[in-house]
Amino acid sequence: MHGLLVVDKGEDISSARAIEPVKRALRMRKRVGHAGTLDPFATGVLIVLFGDVTRLTESLTDLPKVYRATVIFGERTDTLDIEGEVVERADPGPSAPSGLEASLGEFVGEIEQVPPAYSALKVGGRPAYRLARKGEAPELASRRVKVHEIKLLEDRWPEVEIEVVCGSGTYLRALARDIGERLGFPASLRALRRTAIGPFLAENGVRIDRNVELPRRSVLAAIQSPRVIPKVVGLTEVRLSLAEARVFIRGNTVKLDNPLEIGRTYAFLDDTGGFLLGLGKINPDGSLRPKKVLPHGVDEILRRMR
């Protein structure tokens, strides 16, 4: 079984625990993973991949993500969210400062962001959150992330709700901290919901809460084909002849009959268009170099070769 499933993760459950009901429903213990981790307190879209499609997880990481975040001003926790201990307080005053919306706009574009101390990023080979839990202060370097858009949805000062469209690697907890610093207040996240990853919407996902059991039939009905991935990540599909496919599935360089754009990555299908064989890049000499080969496509080609 190969494909992907859009999940709407509930509160108080880790991303790893959230995919356990999917594993049980599909009766798969191996080769099941997810793209885009959510903190336990956060809700929303997880893309669960299983079977050969787990090889394409990296292809989904660059899809834009949409979040609804509730930021509370006047207090900051050690984790920068409601799960942590308050480490700083300040009176935010009775109403939002006049420069609130303008300050939000300053965080649109490519920005430098220091990740939260409580994160899974490695410091000296160890996750930063483990060092933070021991009272150590992990030194995390700033990195460039991309924020496409920030909208102020509701002002309930000292809480505000914002919508953020951003790229991979953006920490909304760190964004809340930095917006607070720009306004002169400590700040943390009160709530966070990821409403979309690319075209995959939370409202269309299979809801998973703590201790839920999923009917196998409903999970099977919601599975999307591997064929959806090239479309959502913007890869052009190219069909290979049976002779070309035989070379491709073995991971060997393919001499193509029809020229393609040099340096570009394509998604390659069998000649009937029914199976995604994998991804490949065009060499300077115009030949095809396989990057990711999907074994379920290999099985189909081998069957047709007999």
Same domain, 91 and 178: yes
Q: Which of 228, 243, 268 is the C-terminal boundary of a domain?
A: 228
CATH of the domain at 71: 3.30.2350.10
Residue type, 265: T
- For the stretch 231-276, pLDDT in tens is 999 999 999 988 898 899 889 999 998 889 999 999 999 888 778 9
Same domain, 119 and 159: yes
Same domain, 108 and 184: yes
Same domain, 137 and 84: yes
Q: Is 119 left (phi over 0), alpha (psi -120 to 50) or beta?
A: beta
Same domain, 289 and 216: no
Joined together, the tokens standing for residue 7 give 């999940």
Same domain, 224 and 144: no
Same domain, 301 and 254: yes
Joined together, the tokens standing for residue 66 give 């949409």
DSSP string computed for 262-296: TT-EEEEE-TTS--EEEEEEE-TTS-EEEEEE-HH
CATH of the domain at 292: 2.30.130.10
Q: Which domain holds residue 273?
A: 235-305
Whether 34 and 225 have beta carbons less than 8 Å apart is answered as no
What is d(CA 124, CA 140) in angstroms, rounded to the nearest whole number? 10
The secondary structure of residue 203, as a DSSP letter, is G
Q: What is the 3-state secondary structure (H, E, C) of 46-101?
A: EEEEEHHHHHHHHHHCCCCEEEEEEEEECEEECCCECCCCEEEECCCCCCCCCCHH
Q: Which residues are catalytic?
A: 39
- Would you say the pTM of this structure is higher than 0.85? yes
Joined together, the tokens standing for residue 221 give 């009905």
Give 167-172 contacts, CB < 8 A, sequence gap 24+.
167/62, 167/64, 167/65, 168/36, 168/61, 168/62, 168/63, 168/65, 169/143, 169/145, 170/65, 170/113, 170/145, 170/146, 171/113, 171/115, 171/116, 171/119, 171/145, 172/67, 172/69
- Number of domains composing the chain: 3
- For the stretch 77-133, pLDDT in tens is 999 999 899 999 999 999 999 989 999 999 999 999 988 876 766 666 666 666 667
Same domain, 254 and 209: no
Q: Which of 93, 109, 90, 44 is nearest to 188 (CA)?
A: 90
Same domain, 177 and 298: no
Whether 38 and 202 have beta carbons less than 8 Å apart is answered as no
Same domain, 11 and 95: no
Same domain, 76 and 158: yes
Q: Taking 90 as the threshold, does the pLDDT of residue 24 lie above it?
A: yes
Same domain, 79 and 134: yes
- For the stretch 31-87, pLDDT in tens is 899 988 898 999 999 999 999 899 998 889 889 999 999 999 999 999 999 989 999
